Amino acid sequence: MPRIAINKIKIGVNRRPLNGEKVKELKESIQAMGLLNPITVDGDYKLIAGLHRLTACQMLGFEEIECNVVNYEDTEQARLAEIDENLIRNELEPLERHELWLEREQILQKLGLRAKPGDNQHTLKGSAMVAPPPKTTKEMAKKAGFSERTLQQGLQIAKGIHPEVKQLIKGTAIAKSTTVQLEIARAAAQERAVAEQAEKASELAKAMGKQQEAEKQAKVAEQARTKQKELQLVAFQSAMAQKKTKSALKKVPPQAQKTPDKRAIAQHSAQVKLGDELMLGRHLVYCGDTSSKEFKEMLPSNAALAIATVSPTWNHDYLIDEARVVAVLRSGGNIYEFCSRVRMPFQYELVIDNLYVSIFSHQPKSQPQIPINIEGVEGIVNYLINFYTSHQDNFVIAPFMGDAEILINCERMGRICFIGDENPEFVSRGITRWEKWTGKQAEKTNSISSIFV
């Protein structure tokens, strides 16, 4: 087995990123037992397989490394060997595996080794059979060690998701979920089809010397790709919001799992009065009319989100000027009737667990393109905060207390809540729940006594 100087080995630009933990393990193994599995290079010393082993040897100070030297007719054959090595030897995230499948598919098509729909593998060319025969999807799946359906879905994911969205997926909670990635790939399918058709038309026009038509089609393709990315970004954000919500709902502190007892609520009710302002950690709570001047003056002018419920006396159109997005929840009824009597610009409506969520905003908002599988008001509120707020310390406005779902989720997620209700009992119930959740006490800000007990 030849030994080659490490500084002569060339590394291609399309290599998979290094896994630091794997390099560390290989370094320790090579140091103890030597290099048991040589790397593979082509005749020009271009690395085909073994980047982690090569890196480990470099870190150990090796000047030479044992190599398998193989010769290929062209770079495509070399890359196929490299892909096969990666698929066999490395533990891959699903998306990484799907991308390698797609690249392998494209190379085989380029080499004429991929069967097209309707092809007969045993078609004769002249008097001799084509050799080697083109590979079918079934054969490709068998070689990959997966079902034909899994391979087809993997290729759909790799081909269908915009490159920038793929980069966002890698390393996240949905990087291992083929189901979620497939939903993202299917979002904006129409825009992707338009882009692909326009790209082919542009190439054809260019080949025919029709420069003006080529530029026109290239512009259509660019616009369609931009829209594809936009819609798939929304799908990605929705998927991440659902993942975070489901994870968060599993982590409820033991002291918060019990419903606040009536005695504790009654104790607070006796002390909370209309007009009271209270601080619950970083959150502000107001007992009074949340459409009043007093409540409005407490609000920040740059809230990310307002969450409200439809009430018989709706006087909360002002929310649209205080928050970038207003989400209005209701259990039924006609959204058009509600929209006809408000001045907030309607964007779209979601139905989550049989609850209607109407979204209002001054800015156009793209609707989530994947199913939203969240249950219960607590989960829906958590999803809305995850989806429509970008980071901790964002402000969330809530003009109705309800069962304190918004307040508790803001506490859980690090958002700052401005919440109120004109019913002292509801306010007391929210305070009690927050105190059980955090183990802290609320403070009155407009009372001689600063501690609310």
- My answer on whether 308 and 426 are in the same domain is yes
- My answer on whether 281 and 422 are in the same domain is yes
Which residues lie below 8 Å from residue 120, measured CB to CB, with a gap of 6+?
none
From 208, 224, 251, give the residue that closes a domain. 251
Task: Provide the domain limits for residue 29.
Answer: 1-91
pLDDT of residue 392: 84
What is the DSSP secondary structure assignment for residue 273, as one 8-state letter?
Answer: -
Question: What does the alpha-carbon distance between residue 329 and residue 306 come to, in Å, rounded to a whole number?
Answer: 11
Query: Phi and psi of 94, rounded to 5°?
Result: -50, -45
Q: How many domains does the chain have?
A: 3
- What is the crossing angle of helices 94-110 and 148-160, to 10°? 90
- My answer on whether 266 and 221 are in the same domain is no
- My answer on whether 245 and 297 are in the same domain is no
From 61, 91, 121, give the residue that closes a domain. 91
Question: What does the alpha-carbon distance between residue 41 and residue 49 come to, in Å, rounded to a whole number?
Answer: 7
Question: What does the alpha-carbon distance between residue 353 and residue 125 come to, in Å, rounded to a whole number?
Answer: 59
- My answer on whether 323 and 372 are in the same domain is yes
Whether 269 maps to a domain, the answer reads yes
Whether 87 maps to a domain, the answer reads yes
Question: What does the alpha-carbon distance between residue 203 and residue 221 come to, in Å, rounded to a whole number?
Answer: 11
Residue 201 has a CB neighbour count (10 Å cut-off) of 18
Whether 143 maps to a domain, the answer reads no
pLDDT of residue 126: 44
Which value, in Å, is the radius of gyration of the alpha carbons in the chain? Answer: 30
pLDDT of residue 262: 58
Question: What does the alpha-carbon distance between residue 442 and residue 285 come to, in Å, rounded to a whole number?
Answer: 9
- My answer on whether 324 and 397 are in the same domain is yes
- Helix (H/G/I), strand (E/B), else coil: 43: coil
pLDDT of residue 74: 67
From 71, 91, 111, give the residue that closes a domain. 91
- My answer on whether 174 and 292 are in the same domain is no
Whether 195 maps to a domain, the answer reads yes
Whether 147 maps to a domain, the answer reads no
Question: What does the alpha-carbon distance between residue 94 and residue 78 come to, in Å, rounded to a whole number?
Answer: 23
Question: What does the alpha-carbon distance between residue 384 and residue 327 come to, in Å, rounded to a whole number?
Answer: 8
pLDDT of residue 69: 85
Whether 56 maps to a domain, the answer reads yes
- My answer on whether 223 and 201 are in the same domain is yes
Tokens of 225: 């790709």
- My answer on whether 165 and 32 are in the same domain is no
Whether 102 maps to a domain, the answer reads no
- My answer on whether 298 and 246 are in the same domain is no
Contact 60, 86 (CB under 8 A): no
Whether 112 maps to a domain, the answer reads no
- Residue spans of the chain under pLDDT 70: 13-17, 72-75, 88-91, 116-134, 251-270, 333-335, 446-453
- My answer on whether 217 and 285 are in the same domain is no
- My answer on whether 247 and 296 are in the same domain is no
pLDDT of residue 116: 64
Residue 338: alpha-carbon gap to chain centroid: 32
Question: What does the alpha-carbon distance between residue 431 and residue 269 come to, in Å, rounded to a whole number?
Answer: 10
Contact 242, 372 (CB under 8 A): yes
